[in-house]
């Protein structure tokens, strides 16, 4: 594990974008999993810009959505699918058949999870993942105390996650469950980056690194 400290958010975004582009350039055809929180938005913008300037070809790889709020669909503001389409997949022009995301509107959560597992396994596992960390230390929706994190599963959301969620929706939404790729499966990735930014995240980053 390597810890890199950036001067500010812009430098953090640059560092993460360049590391992601380098991985993709060296590993075309692999499966990439990018988190949809606020933290990666700057790095996604840089990555799309690098794609436009032909510094990386984002259409050579495949994508797996990290997680989703159960009850929110691809058109809902704040759904992980919409955030990623607006910030990344659409501006980069990624073909739809290269992207697989959880459908938060499907009542059959088990089917959604098995289908994501099949997509990951079809591509030989996740090559590279870019993750954030929640205020409670969650990665994706791997909430603290989730017992078995192999594969994909649904999770009852922790109170911190529910409170923080309002920032994505522009209004209060009664979310209670999430679907996610499990931490064990993410750890199997060849390379991974966890990004964190801002003073509010300092205590949880310290705890994650030291404890
Ligand atoms: P954030 O989310 O980037 O919006 O802070 C991080 C997370 O909850 O994983």
Q: Which phi-psi region, left, alpha or beta, contains residue 67 (left: φ > 0; alpha: ψ -120 to 50)? A: beta
Domain membership flag for residue 2: no
Tell me, yes or no, whether 84 lies in a domain: yes
Secondary element (H or E) of residue 154: strand 152-156
Instruction: Give the CATH number of the domain where residue 192 resides.
Output: 3.40.50.1360
> Is the minimum distance from the CB of 134 to ligand 1 under 6 angstroms?
yes
Task: Give the total number of structural domains in the chain.
Answer: 1
Counts of helices then strands in the chain (DSSP H, E): 8, 8
Catalytic residue among 51, 100, 123, 138: 138
Starting at the edge strand that comes first in sequence, how are the strands of the sheet with 67-69 ordered?
67-69, 177-181, 152-156
Residue 15 pLDDT: 98
Predicted pLDDT at 194: 97
Q: Is 97 domain-assigned?
A: yes
pLDDT digits (tens, 9 = 90+) for 55-86: 999 999 999 999 999 999 999 999 999 999 99
Residues 6+ apart with CB under 8 A from 51: 57, 58, 92
Sites in the chain below the pLDDT cut of 70: none
Whole-number pLDDT of residue 117: 98
Determine, yes or no, domain membership for 1.
Answer: no
Pocket test residue of 36, 133, 136, 137 for ligand 1, highest count of atoms within 8 A of CB:
133
Quick check: is 55 in a domain? yes
Domain assignment of residue 173, yes or no: yes
- Domain membership of residue 3 (yes or no) is no
Does residue 128 sit in helix, strand or coil? strand
**Residue 87 and residue 41 in contact, taking contact as beta carbons nearer than 8 Å:** yes
In angstroms, rounded to a whole number, what is the distance separating the alpha carbons of residues 201 and 32?
Answer: 25
Question: Catalytic residue at 138?
Answer: yes
* CA proximity to 30, closest of 130, 123, 129: 123
Tell me the chain's radius of gyration from C-alpha atoms: 16
What phi and psi values does residue 125 have, to the nearest 5 degrees? 90, 175
Distance 189 CA to ligand 1 centre (A): 20
pLDDT of residue 54: 98
Q: How far is the CA of 59 from the centre of ligand 1 (A)?
A: 25
**pLDDT of res. 137:** 96
Q: One of 68, 117, 143, 158 is an active-site residue; which one?
A: 143
**Does 67 participate in catalysis according to the annotation?**
yes
Domain that holds residue 51: 9-205
- Structural domain includes residue 79: yes
């Amino acid at each position: 594990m390597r810890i890199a400290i950036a001067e500010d958010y812009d430098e953090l975004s640059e560092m993460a974008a360049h590391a992601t582009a380098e991985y993709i350039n060296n590993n075309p055809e692999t499966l990439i999993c990018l988190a949809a929180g606020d933290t990666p938005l700057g790095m996604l913008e840089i990555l799309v810009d690098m794609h436009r300037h032909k510094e990386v070809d984002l259409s050579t790889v495949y994508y797996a959505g990290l997680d989703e709020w159960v009850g929110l669909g691809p058109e809902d503001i704040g759904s992980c699918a919409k955030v990623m389409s607006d910030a990344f997949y659409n501006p980069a022009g990624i073909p739809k058949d290269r992207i697989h995301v959880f459908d938060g509107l499907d009542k059959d959560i088990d089917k959604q999870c098995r289908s994501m597992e099949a997509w990951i396994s079809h591509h030989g596992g996740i090559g590279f993942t870019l993750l954030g960390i929640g205020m409670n230390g969650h990665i994706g929706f791997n909430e603290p105390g989730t017992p078995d994190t192999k594969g994909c599963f649904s999770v009852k959301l922790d109170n911190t996650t529910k409170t923080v969620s309002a920032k994505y929706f522009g209004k209060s939404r009664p979310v209670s469950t999430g679907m996610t790729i499990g931490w064990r499966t993410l750890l199997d990735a060849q390379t991974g980056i966890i990004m964190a930014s801002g003073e509010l995240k300092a205590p949880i980053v310290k705890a994650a690194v030291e404890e």
